Amino acid sequence: MAHTLAHGFADPVHEGQAVFRAAMDALSRPGQIRPLATTLAPPAPLIPELAALALALTDADTPVWLDAPLRAEPAVAAFLRFHTGAPLVDAPDRAAFALIADPARCPAFAAFSQGTPAYPDTSATLILAVETLSNSAGPAFAGPGIRGTAHLDAGPLPADWASRWAANHAAFPLGLDLLFVASARLAGLPRSARPVALEAMPCT
C-alpha cells in the first residue's frame, strides 16, 4: 500500500495553518472565492485542494465520510489514513467531515449530522470538489460576513440544490456548513448564509 504513498505537507505546521486560515476566511466571508495553493499530489479522484483541506482539518478525532468515487479507489483511503489518522466511516451521519468528489450526486443533507441544539457545532462539514466556482453568476446569498449580497456559482450540483440550501438555512442554528474547492481556489457557504430570491434583491 505505502509503496506508492503520495507525500503529505512538506511543512505540516505551516502548510496546515495556511490551509486552515483559507478555510476560516472562506467561511467567515461566505461566497467569496479565495486562493488555495497546494503542492499535494494525491491519488485521483482526490483532487489536491480536497486533500489539502482533509490534511488541515481532519485527524483521529474527526470521522470522515468519502463519497462513492473516493471510496472506490483504495489509494485514497490509504492516503488519508496515513496522513490524517482520521477514521473513515460508512455511515454519513457519523462523519464530522464528508469529502465529495462527485457533487452532482451529493447525498441528501438529512443524511449528515445536523448538530444538536446544545451543540450545533457538532454538525458535519461537507467539502465538495466542483468544476465551476465563480462569483460572476449563480444564486445570491446574504447574512453574516456578507456585505449586501454575494453570488456563488458552484457546480455541478443536484437539481434540488436551492431547496436543500433553503431548508439547511432554515434549520439554523443547526445545519451543515459547506466548503467548495476547485483548481487552486475555494469558497465557503456556512449555514448562516441566507438564500436571497432574485426578485427580492435590492437594486445596486
Partner 1 sequence: MPSVSQTPPPHSMPDLAARQRAMARAGEATSDELRAALARTGAVTEAQDLRPTETGLVMVRGRIGGDGRAFNAGEATVTRAAVRLPGGETGFAYHLGRDRVRARLAAILDAHWQRPEARPALEAALDAIAGRRAEAVRQAARKTAATRVNFFTLARGED
Partner 2 sequence: MYVAVKGGEAAIDNAHRLLAEVRRGDPAVPELTVAQIREQMRLLVDRVMTEGSLYDPDLAALALKQARGDVVEAVFLVRAYRTTLPRFGATEPLDTGGMTLARRISATFKDLPGGQVLGPTFDYTHRLVDFALEDGADPAPAAEAKPEADAAACPRVTDLLGQAGLLEPSPPDEGAPVGDLTREPVDYPADRALRLQGLARGDEGFILALGYSTQRGYGRTHPFVGEIRVGAVELEFTPEELGFPVSLGTVDLTECQMINQFHGSGAVPPQFTRGYGLVFGQGERKAMAMALVDRSLRAAELGEAVVVPAQDQEFVLAHCDSLQATGFVEHMKLPHYVDFQAELELVRRLRAEHAALAAEPVQDDPTLREAAE
Q: Which residues bind partner 2 (CB under 8 A)?
A: 2, 59-61, 78, 81-82, 84-87, 118-119
Q: Where are the beta strands (DSSP E) in 56-200?
A: 64-66, 97-100, 125-129, 132-134, 140-142, 150-151, 153-155, 177-182, 185-189, 194-196
Exposed (0-12), middle (13-18) or buried (19+): which is 144, by Cβ within 10 Å? Answer: exposed
Distance of closest approach, residue 60 Cβ to partner 2, in angstroms: 4
Shortest reach from residue 129's CB to partner 1, in Å = 18
Which of partner 2, partner 1, none interacts with 86 (beta carbon under 5 to 8 A by kind)?
A: partner 2
Burial of 73 (0-12, 13-18, 19+ CB in 10 A): middle
Q: At which residue does the C-alpha cell 444538536 appear?
A: 116
Query: Which does residue 91 touch among partner 1, partner 2, none (CB within 5 to 8 A, set by kind)?
Result: partner 1
Q: Residue 74 CB, nearest distance to partner 1 (Å)?
A: 5
Q: What is the binding site for partner 1 (CB under 8 A)?
A: 1-3, 5, 7-8, 12, 60, 63, 66, 71, 74, 77-78, 81-83, 87-91, 94
